[in-house]
Amino acid sequence: MNDISAVISVFAGSFLSATLLPGYSEILLVTLLTIGSVSPLMLVLTATLGNTLGGVINVAIGRWLPRLNYEKGASTALRWLQKFGPVTLLLSWLPIVGDLLCLLAGWLRMPVTPVVVFLCLGKALRYIIITAVTLKGITLWH
């Protein structure tokens, strides 16, 4: 796999992982880090960009959903968003719950700038941690 196809693959995988579609960005990232043909920084930045854009799509979908009386039967994700606001999106990388947090942030019509900032930070932290652990593991085995 050449560098450009690796970067495109990471972008596509991370984008899909952030939407309601299945994706395996972490496995792809670890595989490409192990191969070592692309800069870890480039992979982290690309994965973060793709995953953030996928999360923003979920926020946009949430904004299109009709407003309902969300007081009845509020889920844990909804309560977190109501209590902590956009900072809750630092957890947007969590499987299933993260997608729901993004949808609900849009549905609640939270301010776009803090939503995107915290969403991006949360996703970046996940990829930075995965990269650090992977590279440390590679170093230990060599």
| pLDDT mean across residues, the chain | 88
Helix orientation angle between 97-107 and 40-64, rounded to the nearest 10 degrees = 50
Pick the more confident residue, 24 or 55.
55
| Residue 91: half-sphere exposure toward Cβ, Cα within 13 Å | 18
Q: Is the confidence at residue 73, as pLDDT, over 60?
A: no
Per-residue model confidence as pLDDT tens digits over 81-131: 989 999 999 999 887 788 889 999 999 999 999 999 999 999 999 999 999
CA nearest 33: which of 46, 49, 23?
Answer: 46
Q: Is the confidence at residue 140, as pLDDT, over 60?
A: yes
Residue 72's pLDDT is what? 47
Q: Which of 24-33, 45-54, 66-75, 104-113 has the lowest mean pLDDT?
A: 66-75
Residue 65's pLDDT is what? 85
CA dist., res. 64 & res. 38, Å (int) = 38
